[in-house]
Structure 1
Amino acid sequence: MPDRDPSQLDLFTGAPSPTPPRGRRRGHEEPVGPAEQPEEVRALGEHLPPGLFLGTSSWTFPGWTGPGLVYDREATPARLSREGLAAYARHPVLRTVGVDRTFYAPIPASAFAEYAAQVPPGFRFLVKAHEACTLSRWPVHVRYGDLRGQPNERFLDAAYARDLVVAPFVEGLGEKAGPLVFQLPPQDPQDLGGAGPFVERLHAFLSALPRGPLYAVELRNESLLTEALAQALADVGACPVLAAWKNMPPVERQAVRLRALQAPALVVRWMLPPHLDYEEARKRYFPFDKLVEEDVRTRDAIARASAAALRSGRPVFVTLNNKAEGSAPLSAVLLARSVMSRTGKPASVDS
């Protein structure tokens, strides 16, 4: 599951827009800046391959304050949503970030452009498509109002995705666009029509989308990780997303089953340890300022797959959740070291 912080859920919380309006600062308040980093982390960042994009699920966590983390001063989530991205993008290792707010409602090209203006040229965004594209039936939750439990007419509707999701993503982010992820939450396979018909419908949907963007598909039902799905994704040039999540097979098994290393890019989302659910992990790891439980097996599996993809000339996008080990930025540094150890890191970069 995503790190559901206020800035990413502005549809329901009224969080501010990606960049602040003019004159927003009161008095002479200094902007949030990047935290100081140890020399070995700076050196690590300098030697990372250009095709390796590591980052976190979002950027607005006050706990990421202090040397070796992300921010140089304490700030509220609302303030970090306004001005934290520029500081985040100056971290030596963090070259991508997940944008989750787009899962809950589409955003215009202007909002994407505001994000893009805050980061350097080599930075890429991993963006989640609106859930209307990927829910066969609206969940039974109060926020869906009269739609609760009803079939979703926009499910795998290519015209809707083209106009409300793909077009603003491409126009607003330009060259800073990374994977556009269609995440299908866990749902009754029968609502999808069964595994076979679902794959056919997904193939038709992806085939009808505009060419150019890097599309990725994340499934949360293990029963849908079939050979037919792998073939369908390969046929349209889409990437499977390897989801490190409690109720999914280990990353290495997903990679083999879905032929992830043959896709145009390797896309991984490391969200939870195998033994905890979202709320358990949140309570145990908050405020996300240190590693609490290292998941060496998952890290090694992601590092091996990443190194293999880089050796074959494929870009790698990995986003990490605070709930994976306790602090996503610190997990990213350890993962970067692990990848480098498999790709021939310089002797000056110490683990």
Structure 2
Amino acid sequence: MQDALFPEAPSATMPAAKPASKPGSKIQAQPAAASIQALAAQLPQALRLGTSSWAYPGWAGQVWQRAYPASALSRQGLGAYSQHPLLRAVGIDRSFYQPLQASQYERYAAQVPADFRFTVKAPSLVTDALLRDAQGRGGRSNSAFLDPALALQEFVRPAIEGLGDKIGALVFQLSPLSPALLARRGEVLDRLHAMLSALPRLDGPASIAVELRDPELLCEDLVALLRDTGVRYCLGLHAKLPALQEQLWILRRLWPAPLVCRWNLHRRFGPFGYQEALRRYGDFEALQDPDLPTRALLAHVIRGTAAAGLPCQVTISNEAEGSAPASVLALAQEVLNVVDAAAPKA
């Protein structure tokens, strides 16, 4: 089924692995094993894998040489992170909680090489229909929800100014809607269409994308507005949404298009299981709950998209399987297995 959706075409391979951090750097990268370097060199050039964030001391031995403080990793860790041969992308999640200035994005961009890409979440200021307290409980309606001027001023423009051509995807992840708003789904989609229509088209392979948390919004009207505005559907692998195979119809309707995917939360935890995942996975040191069906199907989607010469921007959370770098490694191996299986036999 995926082969019919994603036609085959020759694809380039990734560049050679990058050296570890310089000895004078405060955060030292964990040197990559030869097997990881070889794996990275065989992946499609169009594929950029990464994690949803990076400030995790528990990644010592995978990404860092030792367990540095989270505060130091947050400020200075991207340079070491980007030395890992498989980590050619990363998510910026903090922008969801508070809009960032162009200078803040610029500091992130300065830490990584030219071929590195960022997936950035839009601030909740414009993506949440409710004003929430510190515990995430919704209260009053948010008058700035899907406001075109604020989306441009507080997100798109500073991200473009600060990250430039290192943007992989700017993602508007709409928070779950109230039953009252879901009953007026058409009005919400009209507002979304108006906001997206007012935003500039990004240059090159970078994408503006929409990610949802309500299955009710996965409909033909959504597809129509995405097609009309040239905006991508962000494949959201989260227990609040249908499983991956039940979202593929949207990719088929929008084909051909770059792939933007955020693998967020293992389905075993249910739609409200984020805190349970944090408790179970601890310091995120190792893969604990391999999600083999999702991994295998996602690898097929990546293969088909990359084979058509289209960019693939995939970021993975620790809560997906227990350790995001380990998930990236496992997915990379699966992608290579799929590519090898599809290659003509001599």
Q: Does 2:191 align with 1:205?
A: no
> Which of 80, 84, 92 matches 2:85?
92
Q: 1:225 to 1:258 in 2, by over 3 A?
A: farther
Q: Does 2:110 align with 1:114?
A: no
CA distance in 2, matches of 1:144, 1:320: 22
Determine if contact 1:230/1:258 at 8 Å carries over to the other structure. no
Residue 4 of structure 1 is matched in structure 2 by none
CA distance in 1, matches of 2:33, 2:342: 17
The superposition leaves residues 326-351 of structure 1 with CA deviations (integer Å, 9 ceiling, x where unpaired) of 1100110110111122223899xxxx
Of stretches 250-259 and 162-171 in structure 1, the one that deviates more from structure 2 is: 250-259
> Which of 315, 320, 329 matches 2:316?
320
Q: Shift of the alpha carbon at 1:247?
A: 2.2
CA distance in 1, matches of 2:55, 2:323: 13
Q: Does 2:122 align with 1:132?
A: no
> Which of 227, 231, 238 matches 1:245?
238
Alignment RMSD, CA only? 2.2
> Which of 183, 189, 214 matches 1:221?
214
Q: Shift of the alpha carbon at 1:216?
A: 0.5
Q: Does 2:296 align with 1:300?
A: yes
Residue 21 of structure 1 is matched in structure 2 by none
- TM alignment of 1:270-289, pairs within 5 A: 270-276=263-269, 277-289=273-285
CA distance in 1, matches of 2:223, 2:162: 30
CA distance in 2, matches of 1:238, 1:227: 15
Determine if contact 1:96/1:124 at 8 Å carries over to the other structure. yes
Determine if contact 2:264/2:316 at 8 Å carries over to the other structure. yes
Instruction: Identify unmatched segments of 5+ residues in structure 1.
Output: 1-27
Determine if contact 1:138/1:151 at 8 Å carries over to the other structure. yes
The superposition leaves residues 254-311 of structure 1 with CA deviations (integer Å, 9 ceiling, x where unpaired) of 1214537615311111111111111121111111111111110111121111111111
Of stretches 47-56 and 214-223 in structure 1, the one that deviates more from structure 2 is: 47-56
CA distance in 2, matches of 1:160, 1:59: 28
Residue identity matched to 2:43: L
Secondary structure at the residue paired with 1:106? coil
- TM alignment of 1:1-351, pairs within 5 A: 31-66=26-61, 69-139=62-132, 141-142=133-134, 149-191=139-181, 194-212=184-202, 214-259=207-252, 262=255, 264-276=257-269, 277-344=273-340
Q: Shift of the alpha carbon at 1:75?
A: 0.7
Secondary structure at the residue paired with 1:94? coil
CA distance in 1, matches of 2:191, 2:260: 22
RCO higher in structure (CA 8 A, sep ≥6): 2
Residue identity matched to 1:198: V
Secondary structure at the residue paired with 2:139? coil
Aligned residues: 315
Q: Given the two structures, how large is their TM-score scaled by the length of structure 2?
A: 0.86
Secondary structure at the residue paired with 1:259? helix
Q: 1:345 to 1:107 in 2, by over 3 A?
A: farther
Determine if contact 1:261/1:309 at 8 Å carries over to the other structure. no
Q: 1:338 to 1:260 in 2, by over 3 A?
A: farther
Residue identity matched to 1:31: K
